[in-house]
Amino acid sequence: MSADPDQARGTAQGGVHSPQRHDSALKHTTGEATYIDDMAEPSGLLHAALVLSPVAHGRLRAIDLAAARAAPGVVAVIAAADIPGRNDIAPGNSNEPLFAETVVEHVGQPVAAIAAVSLDAARAAAKKAVLDIETLPAILTIDAALEQGSLLYPPSVLSRGDAVAALQQAPLRLSHSFRVGGQEHFYLEGQVALALPGEDGDITIHSSTQHPTEVQHIAARVLGLDYNQITVMVRRMGGAFGGKESNASWVAAVAALLARQTGRPVKLRLPRSHDMVATGKRHGFLYRYDVGFDDEGRVLALDVTLAANGGHSVDLTPGVLGRALTHVDNTYWVPDIRCTGLACKTNTVSNTAFRGFGGPQGVVVMEDAIGRIAHVLGKTPEAVRAVNFYGEGINDETPYGQKVEDNLIRRCVAQVARESSWAQRRAEIDAFNRDNPVIKRGLGMFPLKFGISFNIPSMNQAGALVHVYSDGSIRLNHGGTEMGQGLFVKVAQVVAEVFQVDLDRIRVTATSTGEVPNTSPTAASTGSDLNGWAAFTAADTIRQRMATFAAGHFDVPEDAIAFRDNHVHVARPGDNRVVAFNELARLCHQGRVSLSSTGFYRTPKIHWDPQAMKGRPFFYFSYGAAVAEVAIDTLTGESRVLRADLVQDCGRSLNPAVDLGQIEGAFAQGMGWLTCEELWWDKDGRLRTAGPSTYKIPGSRDVPPVFNVHILENAPAREATIFRSKAIGEPPLMLATAVWTALKDAIASVAEHSVPVTLDAPATPERILVAVQTVRSASLASVE
């Protein structure tokens, strides 16, 4: 009899739906957790360093590496000509070189690499490389790219109905433009890889990566090897946030190249300054929209262009831009809509995945439009939101053709409004602002609908491997990677639930392409959904074998066997028996029962036509709502988030303790993107915010002093997710949009009369001050 994935029994310690601590929590806090740079250095280890382009765009006429090669301690120097396979690190397309050959396309592009006996020697030698580059004109901004028609690929269009005609017929209409910036991942552990050459040309790579299989594929491509000659392992990462999905692959490829050439282990660890200039970031976006609406605030039509800064190469931009387009609607029904996505090619680092993967850049469009519609009509944004929410059984289909069948929008909004005391605080803040000319407070709300699944259907699959040893201990391996988010403990809880044993009986081992092949990245918030199901399938296969053996051994029907509380209960008339799980494992081994199994899972129901941009790209939606309160200083532009109230849909949470931590962390990271994390390039294309002294991420004092987080209760997933749970990694980041709406609310309060607020993100003190002055000037002008 199989375990029931819809019904957790929870009789053992640490099964699903229980708050368990992260499996490495103690090691994280004591410093005992081992990361790649902490591993004991193997004999003969060489350290690597990169030679990076100092020019944003130029013709690479010559590379003189003689001085670098002659530098003390140098063992090997490589450039494009030394690559035995293909000089191509593109994750899904082609022609994205590992080392520049004839042209450099951004400051920080790798040109060569050095391997030396020490890290200091390698970095010193890298500085001796001489690059002869003929400078060419560089495109450094989205505006310049649009002006020159510089795109990475043709425009993408998602549409329904006739937005142009509907706009012409709309009773009311407005247009606006704004922009949001990119964001540096700023993982605590930087990019690092350790390559170990083995027998017969095999190479083992320890990589800080979210995507071991892609590291395997890229390294094999660059080296000209088969995939089975490369084994990639990762026990844990010190943060990733999407920045180690494609970027980690080329870092590992460099280490593998040098290891292959020298026959010695090679470690490449990027210093923070190199990490920030050489690796991609969240895409910055420019928006231009035209929206039509009626007197009640109902949106009748939307025509919007989203221009993304893709950087110098394609990388993962199609997926990011595609997800942005499919999230423009957010929680709102728009009958006639046209969303045009432009992937701008600039001479900056190629931008890449970042937590939310385009979703955050998509949902801000309608929030901005809602606020401006409310201003025109003299209504509150909350009233305008309410008349535009997706319905249940009516107005319930997204622009790309997927039904919103599990609609929790109104429930989340009602709960967060109630728990935040919205009405009372709205009145209090209005009164405060009337009496305080300098410090102004603002209150903002944001509802969320976020789709869960990879944009590419084939990526929605996972494998797992489970062993039960004859002493009853269990070993678990799966294709997911642990980056601090708690995936390992969640999947272990699934296995513990299947066998009904305590969580401490499960040992999760490092992710390895040698144990579970052909894995998808741990991304798109799908880690628990995919790997949890794969592990369940593997564990349940073994459990069924054990149950079948026990039935035969004790001469009872199979349905008389029950796994419960670290034991196996045998129901027999007049003679119920209880056998320890450990003992049954021993008996099964003696009875020659296989106690090892693979498991596989593929997400059902999803399909997607990327050309028509129609289908069902998401297995389900995750919902949430947030209320934020802020204060701004109208003389300096400084801001503070005073309070945040969050309600997040987690389905039936696998681990409430881990999920709460994910919600809090994601919100803080989203808050940083929208308020203080500013990337700034100078006129020569050099990133000047290339370290913690110039790039400001949120600190402990930036977290709201009143921070109320609630998991939506009694809301099991409608679809057959693992134990009816829902993804949690990305959705809460977008709840920080409430901070952006609150800042605009505070800025608007400086005006004597209602004035629309334009506030680009990140909302730095400079931008807030400019917005305050603009609103004041507009208010005075309206009086005159």
pLDDT, tens digit, for every residue of 310-336? 999 999 999 999 999 999 999 999 999
Q: State which CATH number among 3.40.50.720, 3.20.20.70, 3.30.365.10, 3.20.20.450 fits the domain covering 25-33+461-602.
A: 3.30.365.10
Residue boundaries of the structural domains of the chain: 25-33+461-602, 408-448+620-784
Q: Please, what is the end-to-end C-alpha distance for the chain in angstroms?
A: 80
Look up residue 751 and give its two tokens.
């005006």
Quote the percentage of the chain above a pLDDT of 70: 98
- Residue 595 to residue 597: CA distance in whole angstroms: 7
Residue 298 confidence (pLDDT): 98
CATH class of the domain comprising 408-448+620-784: alpha beta
Respond yes or no on whether the N-terminal peptide bond of residue 765 is cis (omega within 30° of 0). no
Global pTM exceeds 0.85: yes
| Cβ–Cβ under 8 Å, residues 412 and 712 | yes
Confidence of residue 783 (pLDDT cuts 50, 70, 90): low
Residue 6 confidence (pLDDT): 67
- Residue 528 to residue 262: CA distance in whole angstroms: 40
The 10s digit of each residue's pLDDT in 588-603 is: 999 999 999 999 999 9
CA nearest to 8, candidates 733, 652, 675: 652
The 10s digit of each residue's pLDDT in 287-296 is: 999 999 999 9
| Kind and range of the H or E run holding 173 | strand 172-180
Q: Do domains 25-33+461-602 and 408-448+620-784 have the same CATH topology?
A: yes
Confidence of residue 78 (pLDDT cuts 50, 70, 90): very high
> Exposed, middle or buried, 40 (CB in 10 Å: 0-12/13-18/19+)?
exposed
With a cut of 90, say whether residue 576 has pLDDT above it: no
Residue 157 confidence (pLDDT): 98
Residue 781 confidence (pLDDT): 74
Residue 753 confidence (pLDDT): 78
With a cut of 60, say whether residue 1 has pLDDT above it: no
- Residue 221 to residue 351: CA distance in whole angstroms: 22
For range 707-729, the mean pLDDT: 98
Residue 574 confidence (pLDDT): 78
Confidence of residue 628 (pLDDT cuts 50, 70, 90): very high
Rounded to 5 degrees, φ, ψ at 326 are -80, 0
Average pLDDT of the chain is: 96
| Kind and range of the H or E run holding 278 | helix 272-278
Give the count of beta carbons closer than 10 Å to the beta carbon of residue 489.
24
Pairing label, strands 474-478, 461-468: antiparallel
Confidence of residue 779 (pLDDT cuts 50, 70, 90): confident
With a cut of 80, say whether residue 3 has pLDDT above it: no
Q: Which residues are catalytic?
A: 730
State the alpha helices, DSSP H only, in 526-603. 527-554, 581-590
The 10s digit of each residue's pLDDT in 146-157 is: 999 999 999 999
- Residue 606 to residue 618: CA distance in whole angstroms: 6
Confidence of residue 377 (pLDDT cuts 50, 70, 90): very high
With a cut of 70, say whether residue 4 has pLDDT above it: no
With a cut of 70, say whether residue 382 has pLDDT above it: yes
With a cut of 80, say whether residue 400 has pLDDT above it: yes
With a cut of 70, say whether residue 107 has pLDDT above it: yes
3-state DSSP of 29-61: HHCCCCCHHHCCCCCCCEEEEEEECCCCCEEEE
For range 178-188, the mean pLDDT: 98
Residue 91 confidence (pLDDT): 94
The 10s digit of each residue's pLDDT in 634-659 is: 999 999 999 999 999 999 999 999 99
| Kind and range of the H or E run holding 167 | helix 163-169
Residue 2 confidence (pLDDT): 66
Look up residue 165 and give its two tokens.
């005609």
Tokens 């640490």 found at: 14
Confidence of residue 8 (pLDDT cuts 50, 70, 90): low
One-letter amino acid of 773:
Q
Q: What is the b/e burial string over 264-287, where b = at least 16 CB atoms within 10 angstroms of the residue's CB?
A: bbbbbbbeeebbbbbbbbbbbbbb
Give the count of beta carbons closer than 10 Å to the beta carbon of residue 11.
15
With a cut of 60, say whether residue 491 has pLDDT above it: yes
- Residue 331 to residue 384: CA distance in whole angstroms: 12
For range 410-415, the mean pLDDT: 98
For range 264-275, the mean pLDDT: 98
Give the count of beta carbons closer than 10 Å to the beta carbon of residue 117.
16
